[in-house]
A and B are shown apart, each in its own frame.
Chain A
Amino acid sequence: MSNVSLRLAWRNLWRHKRRTWLTVGAMIFSNSLLVFSISLQFGSYEMMIDNTLQAFSGHIQLQHEQYLDDPKMRHNLPNIVTTAKRLRNELKLENIGARAAGFALASSRDRSYGIQILGVEPLYESRISSIPGLIKEGQFLQQDSYDEIVIGSILARNLKITIGDELTFIGSGLDNSFAAGVVRVVGIFESGIADLDRSMAEVSLAYFDDSFAMRGKGHSIAIRANNIEAVTNLQIRIEALVDNQNHLAVRHWEELQPGLKQAIQADMTSAWFMYIVLIILVAFSVLNTQLMSVLERTREFGTMMALGLKPSNLSRLVVVETSLMAGLGLLLGIAVGFVITWYLSIVGFYYPGMEEMAVKFNLPDRMYPEVSLISLTLGPGIVAFGSLVASIYPATRLYRLLPIEAMRAV
């Protein structure tokens, strides 16, 4: 299409200024809405993933192959501390720590609750989990902590104990022996994740080993990758390193936190349902506009055909007109969407209905959309494509025109 046709298409667009602006306006509205929503989705998913995984599970865990489905004491890995050390050396990554876990009945002077006790390497745990950083009273375990414990804030409240108080626990050791101990509360954490705050406690791995008769065995080695994109690669490297160990499984966070993945997928599905409705509405408004514009120009199209233009020339004109309209909606929509989203990505944004998810996945009550090339172009790109698809029908109507009849039309 050279300049005359482009000019012709552009001028045709503005024959009905208000109608064109209404259609372009619908595109701008939906495009900026899409930019905002998709940016917000990306932002919140990343936050959900980060916050959830950092809280506790890490990005990758080495476990006994049966531990994921059946987290029993006996599904353990031998020499957990040396294995963790070897991984740190080989991967040149410090965010790796060994853990062991057991269940116990925790009692204060007048109450008892079932809890999960986790043995951790204090030095490395803070590199994997956000819990050490979420101590609101006291402090986290030290490298040489022995009969000391850190507990969740709800558990502390339930047991009515605080820093310096003693807590007694009774469970069963790996050898089915009686595992019991008296520990002193040195820290109380508040993760915001109710499950953790209510029923988790952490002691040093050395103390856990003694109390639960582990003899160097443990249940997991938790690993935090430097960023979420690096996880899959890291998993492959780890699998290569531990290739020869029996009954060992390297678990990706998607396996460790299936609920997280599902929640994201469910949210995406419902969001895309809304987007598709929006895109279809825009496409129909384009269809309507272009159909009207084709019908009212019947006489003109008849003339052009009489002059020797083919229906394909005419339908190309209609498609160029639609492209110009879609391009306008695309650029302005991205611009408006970018400005709004960029602003909100700095000041934050609250949206009702997120509370439930926020509680479940430890999100802050303010959301920060994340502007990226994809979030800017994905939605508007599909809207533009949908608009072009919608112009097919009006364009094909031109193939039915007979010049002489069309020229007689008013």
Chain B
Amino acid sequence: MSSIRCIQLCKTFRQGDEIITGLDNVDIVIDEGEFVCLSGPSGSGKTTLLNAIGGLDTPDSGEIHMDGIRVDQLAKGPLADMRLHNIGFVFQAYNLIPVLTAQENVEFVMQVQGVAAAERAQKARDILKEVGLIGMEDRKPAQLSGGQQQRVAVARAIVSQPKLVLADEPTANLDTVASSKLMNLFSQLNQNYNITFIIATHDKRVMSYAKRLIKMQDGKIISDEMQTPVSGDEG
């Protein structure tokens, strides 16, 4: 799982009479265990690409293969199962469930996955500790700052160690210290568990953690380079 191959992906949006390009003939291959950053100006198609890879949105044309499975052709049910068991999402707008506490938000997906109560409670506590939210377990999203909510969203995405994490601006609301801690955590998970990361970001410091940097503009990939990530201790 999670060797990803996108072939000639195109996606347009219609807004009134205007046709907006989301993705324009995107070709990429991302292997298992890669740590990729997507960068590019606002509106360049980063979110659109993440959504297509995660099966949240279907491209107008092109193919998406994930370990030989055509994601773009999967039926809704198997697609949902694939997201549930193999993909962790961090959304740009966090999208936490407002009536659940931080702990419960993190447990929620595990519960649907069928993880036993005691195990998921323990895992949720551990991961919240990792993202620096000790003592905040029982707060509802409204009682958390933007940065804290974002970290809950990250915790929710990585708690069950999916094979692929798709993160959309995961550090947008974090201060320097918190964001480098988070990136260190991502790097660790990537190294220790071979989890593939694809992170859309504007943040130069975040990009420096990536082993591979893909730049987008107007729905196209304009550069795709391997790089040496900064060491995990830097911040």
Contacts and interface: CB of A to CB of B under 8 A. Distances in A.
Interface of A: 2-5, 7-8, 11-12, 15, 299-300, 303-311, 313, 403-404, 407
B84 interface: yes
Range of interface residues on chain B?
A: 20 to 34
B219 interface: no
Contacts of A305: 80
B60 to A, nearest CB: 14
A306 B99 contact: no
Contact of B54 (A5, A299, A303, A306): A306
Contacts of B84: 307-309
Contacts of B87: 308
Majority secondary structure, B binding face: helix
Given A306-B54, A308-B83, A4 B97 contact: no
A403 B89 CA distance: 13
B97 A308 contact: no
Interface string B134-169: 000000000000000000000010000000000000
Contacts of B104: 4, 7-8
Given A2-B117, A4-B104, A8-B99, A308 B91 contact: no
Interface string B89-113: 1010101011110001001110111
Given A11-B99, A303-B95, A3 B117 contact: yes
- Interchain residue pairs A-B with the least CB separation, the first 3: A308-B84, A308-B83, A11-B99
Contacts of B98: 300
A4 B56 contact: no
Contacts of A310: 76-77, 80-81
B77 to A, nearest CB: 6
A407 B109 contact: no
A304 B97 contact: yes
A304 B99 CA distance: 13
A300 B93 CA distance: 12
B123 interface: no
A305 B76 CA distance: 10
A5 B97 CA distance: 12
B56 A308 contact: no
Nearest to B86: A308
B130 interface: no
Contact of A407 (B83, B91, B97, B108): B91
A8 B83 contact: no
B83 A306 contact: yes
Contacts of B108: 4, 8, 307
A403 B51 CA distance: 10
B224 interface: no
Contacts of B77: 310
A224 B84 CA distance: 71
B95 A5 contact: no
Contact of B112 (A11, A309, A407): A309
Contacts of A4: 100, 104, 107-108, 111
Given A2-B117, A403-B56, A306 B91 contact: yes
Nearest to B98: A300
Contacts of B54: 306
